[in-house]
Structure 1
Amino acid sequence: MGLGTISALLAFGLLGALALGLWVALSLLGVALVAILLMTNVPAGAVTATAAWGASNSWDLTALPMFIWMGEILFRTRLSEDMFAGISPFMRRIPGRLLHVNIVGCAIFAAVSGSSAATTAMIGRMSLPELRGRGYDEKMAIGTLAGSGTLGLLIPPSIILIVYGAATEQSIARLFIAGILPGAMLACLFMGYVVVWSLLRRSGMPEADPSTSMRQKFSAARRLLPVVLLIVGVIGSIYAGLAAPTEAAAIGVMLALLLSWVTGTLTRASFAEALMSATRTSCMIAFILMGAAVLTVAMGFTGIPRELASAIGAMDLSFAALLAALTLLFIVLGCFLDGISVVVLTTSVILPIVEAAGFDLIWFGIYLVLVVEMSQITPPVGFNLFVLQGITGHNIFKVAVMALPFFLIMVVAVALIAAFPEIALFLPRTMLAR
């Protein structure tokens, strides 16, 4: 049986296991064991144990549960209410007015949560009833939230960037810094679209709110002070070189607990609920990473990634053609898998290809997260769609239609960072070169 035939069987076996609803981690482990037993003479048990331990015994991964816990603590505070009240006075003169609160609010909360679903849920629970009550177009309100909620994956501290950094042995600090400009660019693209839409659809906009004085604006802005201090404490400590991502995550948990205590939302029940939710999520991600690590080692023994990289290299695809093919692959995978699963599932096979093509792995990480962001708003397994379905009561396919313009904007963002890689690489090169 040839290498190509076995590769196809393993791929179909993995897809079949996932289609049957088997856990992603168990699917990865199962395919890895089959590959080792069929194609190598190495001891499967020893290889599995060594790879699993190596994936778990990583100091970089320590930041993962801490950032998840920080997000869970903040999820149970009044942070979204304070953010809406603090941001909205500054948005009333911009075409689109309070629709921009969704985008700016998601961008700010993304900088303290690291999670797309948490960002969407936090901002959505506060903003959608407010926008609906003020007469804003519901489709646009939901669409802006669905699109901008994905910023939680890109703007640091991003959980998925930590996963990518651990899987590819890249600097998490560099990845965090690289995500700043692409995240800001994507938020600006979203806001630009809202501006154009509102100018073309003036009839769909409610009456303008009464103007506010500068004193009222700054009075409202004081409610943003806690989240600004949190961002400075967590992200600023990394950028200033005062703390590694793991240490910054611990600082974030302490500041989140302090904020929760000051606002009166820290109780024994909320503390235990946040801790258990973070534990469950962290264990799920760690289990997936273990399965992916075993599969990576198994693929290395079989030689499949090298053969695949050689085959694609022999096709002599241009940079644009290869990137288009990878983008299509990730979008299709994202229709059926969550973002973390897409990253760990493809790393072992894709990495030799992108390295052979000369891609910068920091840049590729940002590109990959951008594409994975698209999967958050593509049915049938778009996490943001499920969150918004729960908030609005609309069918996920209806929500997906509302989010379609923002999906297309993400495609434009991918094209921009492909055409101008410095958007992702400028800050890591300049800030870390000092």
Structure 2
Amino acid sequence: MGLLEIGGLLLFIMLLMLGGGVWIAMTLAIVGWVGQAYFTNTQPGLNLFSSFWETASSWELAALPLFIWMGEILYRTKLSEQMFDGLSPWLSKVPGRLMHTTILGCGIFGSVSGSSAATCATIAKVALPELDRRGYDKSLALGSLSAAGGLGILIPPSITMVVYAVAADTSVIRLFLAGFLPGFLLMGLFSGYIIWWSLRHPDKVPPAELPTTFWQKIHRSGSLIPCGLLIVFIVWVLVAGIATATECAAWGVVGSLAIAAAGRSLTWQNFWQGLVGATRVSCMIMFILAGAAFLTKTMAFTGIPRELAEYVQSLNLSPYGLIAVLVVVYLILGTALDGISMIMLTSAVILPLIEKAGFDLVWFGIFIIMLIEIAEITPPVGFNLFVLQNMTGIDSNRIARMTLPFFGCMVLAIVLITVFPDIVTSLPNWFMGVER
């Protein structure tokens, strides 16, 4: 049996188990076990243990539960309600109104967390209850959250960008700078769809609040100042190199607790509930990550990603033909691998092809990261879908259908940066003083 046939068989087993209601993490681990036990000469038991240990002991992932706890604090105190009260008068005349807070929140928090899972989970904790309470369409809210959560790895800083920069031997700073404009582009496309949807379905959007004067808006926005200062502080210490992402997450928790305590909305009860909730969500995410890490090892041992990359090389395509095929290849890989694994397992073969075709490696890094964003909302292993499924109880395939319009926005963004590569390269070229 060829490697691609083995990959198809493993994908079929995964779909069968997910359709049968098996836990996501267990499905990933079982498929990984089958792949190693029957199609490699390695020891699946030893690799299973090492995968779970490496995931649980990862220093980079220490930021994940802290950022989730920060979201729990915002959710269980009055801070989230104050944030929405502060934003609502400014968005009252924009079609979609507070629905845009999911996009803005993911964009802002994504610049702090660097993780799509943390961004999706944190903003969902804050936004979903408020939007539901105010009568906004839940399908649109879940779809926008699932897609916008991917901004966590596109808007710098991003662990995925660092991994790609090392693999491609390119500048991390240039890659970070290159992520801003595509990130804003995606936010604009997402908000544009929400505006279009709201104009088509005015009956599903809650009525606008009573008109307010400019000074009334300023007064109501005063509730945004504490959380705004906290976000600015976290971004500043991170960009200035004073603290790592994990340390920033810890500062975020401390700052959230301090703001909640100062506003007299922090009690022992909601403190404990927030801690338990963050523990539950973090364990769920870590368990899924461990299963995905084990499946990734299976992919590496079988050599399926490398086989796929070498097949692309053998096609001798034109530059844009190569890009079109790579879109399909990475979307297929995204159904079974996490983003970092996709980069590490294919870079040795793909990057020389990209250089030979005349593409900028910084541009290609953003291209891959945007494809990884799409993989985050693509079944069967769409990680943002799993996060929202476990937080809401709604089936991941149903959430995936809600995300389809935003999927289209992401595909459009990839087309735009391919046709107009300056969207990616202009900012790093200008900032770093590179002549065009």
Does the TM-score normalized on the shorter chain lie above 0.5?
yes
**Counterpart position of 1:249:** 249
CA contact (8 A) 1:28 1:291 kept: yes
Give percent identity, aligned residues only: 37
Change (3 A) 1:158 1:118: farther
CA contact (8 A) 1:73 1:256 kept: yes
In 2, Cα distance between equivalents of 1:413 and 1:224: 31
CA contact (8 A) 2:151 2:183 kept: yes
> Is 2:122 the counterpart of 1:125?
no
Select the residue among 303, 320, 323 that pairs with 1:320.
323
How far off is 1:365 after superposition? 5.3
CA contact (8 A) 1:71 1:118 kept: yes
Q: Cα deviation per residue 1:33-90 (whole Å; 9 max; x = unaligned)?
A: 4444444444444444445444444322222222222222222122332122212232
Q: Cα deviation per residue 1:274-306 (whole Å; 9 max; x = unaligned)?
A: 222322333333333333333333433333332
Deviates more, 1:182-191 or 1:36-45: 36-45
In 1, Cα distance between equivalents of 2:112 and 2:208: 31
Please show how residues 266-281 of structure 1 align to structure 2 within 5 Å.
Answer: 266-281=266-281
CA contact (8 A) 1:85 1:220 kept: yes
Please show how residues 136-147 of structure 1 align to structure 2 within 5 Å.
Answer: 143=140, 146-147=143-144
Please show how residues 332-351 of structure 1 align to structure 2 within 5 Å.
Answer: 333=335, 343=339
Change (3 A) 1:98 1:310: closer
Q: Cα deviation per residue 1:93-139 (whole Å; 9 max; x = unaligned)?
A: 55665665565456456667833254245324324554x5xxxxx66
**Counterpart position of 1:135:** none
> Is 2:222 the counterpart of 1:222?
yes
SS of corresponding position for 1:115: helix
In 2, Cα distance between equivalents of 1:16 and 1:96: 38
In 2, Cα distance between equivalents of 1:26 and 1:385: 18
How far off is 1:178 after superposition? 5.9
In 1, Cα distance between equivalents of 2:40 and 2:402: 49
> Is 2:87 the counterpart of 1:90?
no
How far off is 1:245 after superposition? 1.0
Q: Normalization by structure 2: what TM-score?
A: 0.73
Change (3 A) 1:395 1:13: closer
Q: Cα deviation per residue 1:380-401 (whole Å; 9 max; x = unaligned)?
A: x9569869988xxx99999888
> Is 2:415 the counterpart of 1:415?
yes
SS of corresponding position for 2:149: helix
Q: How many residues align?
A: 415
Q: Structure 1, unaligned stretches of length 5 or more?
A: 133-137
In 2, Cα distance between equivalents of 1:423 and 1:254: 37
In 2, Cα distance between equivalents of 1:255 and 1:375: 35
How far off is 1:313 after superposition? 1.9
CA contact (8 A) 2:385 2:399 kept: no
Change (3 A) 1:65 1:183: same
Q: Normalization by structure 1: what TM-score?
A: 0.73
Change (3 A) 1:258 1:211: same
Please show how residues 253-268 of structure 1 align to structure 2 within 5 Å.
Answer: 253-268=253-268
**Counterpart position of 1:311:** 311
Change (3 A) 1:342 1:386: same
SS of corresponding position for 1:21: coil
CA contact (8 A) 2:92 2:208 kept: yes
Select the residue among 346, 368, 371 that pairs with 1:368.
371
**Counterpart position of 2:22:** 22
